[in-house]
Amino acid sequence: MALPMLPGPSGDSTKDEWLFSDRRMKEEIYQLTYELEQSYWWYVARRQIVTAQLAALLRSKVGMARILDYGCGTGLNLTHFAGLGDAYGVDVSPTAIAFCRERGLTQVAMIGAQEELCANPFGQLFDVVTMLDVLEHIPDDACRLQQIGKWLKPGGLLMVTVPAFEFLWSGEDYVSQHVRRYSGRSLARLFRHTGYEIVKLSYFNTLLFPAQVATILWKRLCAPRSMYQSNLAPLRPDLNWLLTCIMSFESLPLRRYSLPIGGSILCCGRLAS
């Protein structure tokens, strides 16, 4: 998948030189996430959407589901998933795991970043694995999804959220060191290629999509240096509340329908037997 070309921050034109020089997410992002994810509109709304989807998928499950959040970050999602089952988390960052432990989470473990180092640290299989805005960080995404299949019970579910559309590449992708963005078609193809049957595929962050496109295009044309800066920053409480309400509303139609466009994609696949 071709990456969009932007001039590097030092004026060079080769994205590889500055994007791939260090694949580890910058540690300060974990600190900022830890401080904001309880209340920041994006985290709150995505958490509501994902939790509602998980609850619907597990409705017919007999007994307590075992859930793994792969790339659990600072762990707030795990505290919510615990209401749906027995929740575990893994991450490649010791900083992230330290923040999880600050939240009182004990079923968390650090894993290696390379495919050959990613052995299952818990020694047990899971009913559901979530990867929430993780897959776009991984160079060999197909290999990683095949590996995740070895962590799932027969017929287990994998739920992924990813950023949508290469033309929306922005400062958040740069700061978070994303490798790619996806389309619904490319994500579905990846799931099927790696042995998963699609259960649910939908865009989300749909209502705010026009504003997202307009903002990114304006920055690209009028404020190009902002394309190397994170969009994550505290907002006025009233604006944060409004954005939370708008995006969270999508959890209602998503229970029954798939949305045709949006800034992000949610895909759930069942491990084919």
pTM of the model: 0.88
CA–CA separation, 98 vs 125, rounded Å?
Answer: 24
- 259: which DSSP letter? B
Q: Are 2 and 166 in contact (CB under 8 A)?
A: yes
Report the percentage of the chain scoring pLDDT > 70: 87
Phi, psi at residue 129, to the nearest 5°? -120, 130
Buried (b) or exposed (e) across 154-187, using 16+ Cβ within 10 A? eebbbbbbbbbbbebbbbbbbbbbbbbbbebebb
CA–CA separation, 126 vs 143, rounded Å?
Answer: 19
CB atoms within 10 A of CB 25: 21
Examine the pLDDT at 113 and tell me if it is beyond 80: no
Q: What is the reported pLDDT for 200?
A: 97
Examine the pLDDT at 9 and tell me if it is beyond 60: no
CA-closest candidate to residue 37, choices 107, 86, 102, 83: 102
To which H or E segment does residue 267 belong?
strand 264-271
Structure tokens belonging to residue 126 = 């899971």
DSSP 183-252: -HHHHHHHHHHTTEEEEEEEEE--TTHHHHHHHHHHHHHH-GGGGGS-S-----HHHHHHHHHHHHTTHH
Domain residue limits, the chain? 23-271
- 272: which DSSP letter? P
Expressed in angstroms, the distance from the first to the final Cα of the chain is: 29
CA-closest candidate to residue 129, choices 199, 175, 69: 69
Examine the pLDDT at 15 and tell me if it is beyond 50: no
CB atoms within 10 A of CB 78: 22
Mean pLDDT of 87-101: 95
Examine the pLDDT at 273 and tell me if it is beyond 50: yes
Q: What is the reported pLDDT for 47?
A: 97
Mean pLDDT of 178-199: 97
22 confidence band (pLDDT: 50, 70, 90): very low
Kindly compute the dihedral angle of the four CA atoms of residues 217, 218, 223, 226, in this order, to the nearest 10 degrees: -60
Is the model more confident about 15 or about 25? 25
Q: What is the reported pLDDT for 176?
A: 83
Amino acid in the structure at residue 107: Q
CA–CA separation, 139 vs 114, rounded Å?
Answer: 10
To which H or E segment does residue 65 belong?
strand 65-70
CA–CA separation, 26 vs 76, rounded Å?
Answer: 19
* Average pLDDT, rounded, for the chain: 87
Q: Does domain 23-271 have CATH number 3.40.50.720?
A: no
CA–CA separation, 221 vs 232, rounded Å?
Answer: 20
Classified as helix, coil or strand, 102 is helix
Residue with tokens 């996430």: 33
Mean pLDDT of 267-271: 96
Q: What is the reported pLDDT for 172?
A: 85
Mean pLDDT of 223-247: 88
95 confidence band (pLDDT: 50, 70, 90): very high
- 140: which DSSP letter? S
Highest mean pLDDT among 9-23, 58-72, 200-214: 200-214
Residue with tokens 């590889």: 16
Residue with tokens 């050959």: 116
